[in-house]
Amino acid sequence: MEDEQRQGPIEIAFVGDLTDNESDLTEKLLSIEPGGECTLYFDSPGGSPYCAMSLVSLMLLRRIRATGIVTGECSSAALWPFAACRRRLVTPYSILLFHPMKWQSEEHVGLSEAAEWARHFGALEREMDQLLGELFGIADPEVAAWIAAGRYVSGRELAGAGLAELIDVKTFPIPSANGTIPMVKPSAGKRLAAAPSRRRRERK
């Protein structure tokens, strides 16, 4: 006998290397109807920047209303899909690593190909860093400073910057049967950044 169809938003685990799980994650995101809701749980060290951009593009193109929760680590390339979530939750134990992009090529690569790869990767890094700031809804210099420093940002720090809601895993209310997650008051003196699809900035 088949189980009854589950009610509430689909839950997807962004666990491990995103690149290794890209096919499965893409399939699960495509199973969500355009404009639909989902809950994403993050414990990932990152992956390919191309994989990150593909997942983010799917979320934005399909107007997916995602709630992202960092249950462990959300680092490197995993930051982009987390930033694309309409609502972002972290715990005091969450950790997020911002760092410059790293790349490597095959052992036998011609000089001209290596130069072109470096040019392309430099342009991609600038555009992705700008997008990350826009998704989080904060000025580029703040994100750029974290990236340049290779900064580990705690859940408390991210919430203190107004980029997520801080939850206590020991006392947080159980989500309702329809998947609704209770709201949490923002940290004192900070306002949560606007949803990425509702905020536009001009780059100087």
pLDDT-based confidence at residue 172 (cuts at 50, 70, 90): confident
Could you tell me the two tokens for 93? 């134990």
Q: Are 39 and 179 in contact (CB under 8 A)?
A: yes
Q: Sign of the C-alpha dihedral, residues 173, 43, 165, 194?
A: negative
Q: Are 148 and 125 in contact (CB under 8 A)?
A: no
Whole-angstrom distance, CA of residue 74 vs CA of residue 85: 13
Summarised one tens digit per residue, pLDDT across range 39-57 is 999 999 999 999 999 999 9
- Spell out the SS3 assignment of the chain: CCCCCCCCCEEEEEECCCCCCHHHHHHHHHCCCCCCEEEEEEEECCCCHHHHHHHHHHHHHCCCEEEEEEEEEECHHHHHHHHCCCEEEECCCCEEECCCCCCCCCCCCCHHHHHHHHHHHHHHHHHHHHHHHHHHCCCHHHHHHHHHHCCEEEHHHHHHCCCCEECCCCCCCCCCCCCCCCCCCCCCCCCCCCCHHHCCCCCC
Whole-angstrom distance, CA of residue 77 vs CA of residue 98: 9
Q: Per CATH, which fold does 10-101+109-198 belong to?
A: 2-enoyl-CoA Hydratase; Chain A, domain 1 (3.90.226)
Summarised one tens digit per residue, pLDDT across range 75-133 is 999 999 999 999 999 999 999 999 887 665 555 666 676 677 677 666 777 888 888 98
Average pLDDT, the chain: 82
Q: Above 90 in pLDDT, residue 188?
A: no
